[in-house]
Amino acid sequence: MVNKKLIRELLSESDCSHNKTKKSSCDKPKPGATSGGCAFEGAQISLFPFADVIHLVHSPATCIGASWETRQTLTSHKGENNTVMGYTTDVNTNDIIFGGDKKLEVSIDYIVEHKNPKGIFVYETCVTAMIGDDMDNVCGRMEKKHGIPIIVIHSPGFVGGKNLGSRLGGESVLHQLIGTREPQQIHPFGINLIGEYNVTGDMWQYTPLLEKIGIKVISTLAGDGRIENIQMAHTAKLNVIVCAKSLISLTRKMQEQYQIPYISISFYGKRDTSNAIRSIVNAFGDEALTARAEALIAEEEAKLEEILIPYRKILEGKKAILNTGGNKTWSIASALQDIGVDVVATSVQKATLEDKEICAQYVKILITDPGTQQAQLIDEHKIDILLAGGRSLYTAIKKKVAFVDVNQEKKVSYGAYSGLVNLAIDVANAVNNKVFKVVGNPEPWGNN
């Protein structure tokens, strides 16, 4: 059953900075004026990266039919990679009338018999919540029958947006998995990476660095994740929230329940990556660890500067405007500055209060109305590059400035030190691309 009390509580998370001034953070979506995914999508984002469990979506065709194999959440799992698979009970008219419980049950039997997974995550969606399938009951019985964890995630889309769904996913993991397995020994510098989904392998850009200085990643939620590791997450000494804020409820509850403190960091760009490593080691307060971290940072930064030299030649002094949302409003700005780009302005229209404050530390002009300001600023400051979502492409073409779509699904990682090189390559290629000079040429006919 969907738990109303839990949803209310998740929507007014006390550790969210904006909730100190506002009554409810996450308003109900407005009919006819809503974009963005539903709670199921949020749960999918936060939990699908577990590659060694099967994700069974109890739903009709749209939920998973339109969304499976769409995210580049990479895994090193050697067995069958379940992050890119779409399992659905494909609920039909009969199931609506007579109930889908039975179908769910035989589907779980089928999965265990044919795939033998380490666990199954079962997702509740709008229709199956509406027809009242007792999924907790079915999955409880099946868990006993098959002897593997079968976790229900109550994530029908109508309860709210993506952010809430991620939180609901986190709750299921907290209550049904974390603390159910004990490690052989407890690592003194063990951390959990929370809200890192390893999109395009972002996580792999920095986890080797952390390991090099003696930090152990106990578990991840859920990039390159394994169910056995998340079961031992309670033995970590520190929770590290990477960029995404949605799982802050989980880390707060883990602090209350297991006394694990948490920090929130970003691995975008050189300075943020170095700061992130420092924040982690500072949390442990171990001198030798801190010394190892400083040595590593110095070494990595020097190595990076060397590689960036040719790109700096192209990018040094180039002026840019950034128009994106959330933490990207400052994380990409800082990364761009790290490769020599002069970030003249960044749009904070879709940023939280906290993000705005951070933006102000990096960039002088904060755009509040990109629709009108963007084009003006391009002229005023003789901008070279516009980094924005697809809608701004038309502005770029009209103004004949280079354009980088920062909201498009990226194919390579921009994370940490090595990812910054990828960003430099992409921006440098855009600056030099002739397309932005010719594509908007006037038609050769008519009065032109």
Partner 1 sequence: MPLTIKYLKLLGIPNLGGIIKMEAISKKPLQLNPIKLSQPMGAMLCFLGIKNCMPLMHGAQGCASFSKVFFTRHFNDPIAVQTTAVNDITAVIDGGDYAISESIKNITQKVKPDLVGLFTTGLTETKGDDIKGASKLVEDIQQMVYVNTPDFEGSIESGFSKSIEAIIQQLVLPSTETDTNKALIIPNVNLKPIEVEKIKDTISLFGYEVFSLPDLSESLDGHLGLKQGALTSGGISVEDIKKLATSSLVFTIGKSVEKCGEKILEKNPNIKLFHFDSLGGLEQSDKFFKILCKVKNISQPHPSIVRWRKRHQDALLDTLFVIGSTSVVIALEPDQAISVANTIIEAGAHIKAIVTTHRNDLLDEIPCDNLLIGDFEDVESFLHESDLVISNFHAERLAIKHKKALLVRGYPDFESLGNQLKNDILYEGSSYLLFELANLINHHKLGVENEH
Interface residues with partner 1 (CB under 8 A) are 2, 4, 7, 28-41, 56, 59-70, 84-93, 95-96, 103, 106-107, 109-111, 126-127, 130-131, 156-161, 390-391, 393-394, 397, 409, 439
Residue 239 or 374 having the CB closest to partner 1: 374
Least distance to partner 1, CB of residue 325, Å: 15
Instruction: Write the burial class of residue 214 (CB in 10 Å: 0-12 exposed, 13-18 middle, 19+ buried).
Output: middle
Least distance to partner 1, CB of residue 314, Å: 26
Q: How many CB atoms lie within 10 A of CB 107?
A: 21
Residue 111 or 199 having the CB closest to partner 1: 111
Structure tokens belonging to residue 142: 């099946």
Work out the end-to-end distance of the chain between its first and last CA atoms, rounded to an integer number of angstroms.
65
Least distance to partner 1, CB of residue 91, Å: 5
Least distance to partner 1, CB of residue 255, Å: 29
Residue 169 or 269 having the CB closest to partner 1: 169
Residue 108 or 304 having the CB closest to partner 1: 108
Please report the beta strands in 113-222, taking only residues with DSSP state E, as ranges in sequence order. Answer: 120-124, 150-154, 190-196, 216-222
Residue 34 or 257 having the CB closest to partner 1: 34
Residue 97 or 309 having the CB closest to partner 1: 97
Least distance to partner 1, CB of residue 161, Å: 7
Residue 83 or 235 having the CB closest to partner 1: 83
Q: In what order do the strands lie in the sheet with 190-196?
A: 216-222, 190-196, 238-242, 262-265
Structure tokens belonging to residue 363: 């960039």
Least distance to partner 1, CB of residue 446, Å: 14
3-state DSSP of 384-437? CEEEECHHHHHHHHHHCCEEEECCCCCCCCCEHHHHHHHHHHHHHHHHCCCHHH
Least distance to partner 1, CB of residue 36, Å: 6
Residue 211: strand, helix, or coil: helix
Instruction: Write the burial class of residue 69 (CB in 10 Å: 0-12 exposed, 13-18 middle, 19+ buried).
Output: exposed
Cβ atoms of 403 and 392 closer than 8 Å: yes
Residue 39 or 343 having the CB closest to partner 1: 39
Of 160, 95, 100, 155, which Cα lies nearest the Cα of 124? 155
Alpha-carbon distance of 345 to 349, in angstroms, equals: 12
Least distance to partner 1, CB of residue 149, Å: 19
Hey, which residues does 216 pair with through a beta bridge? 190
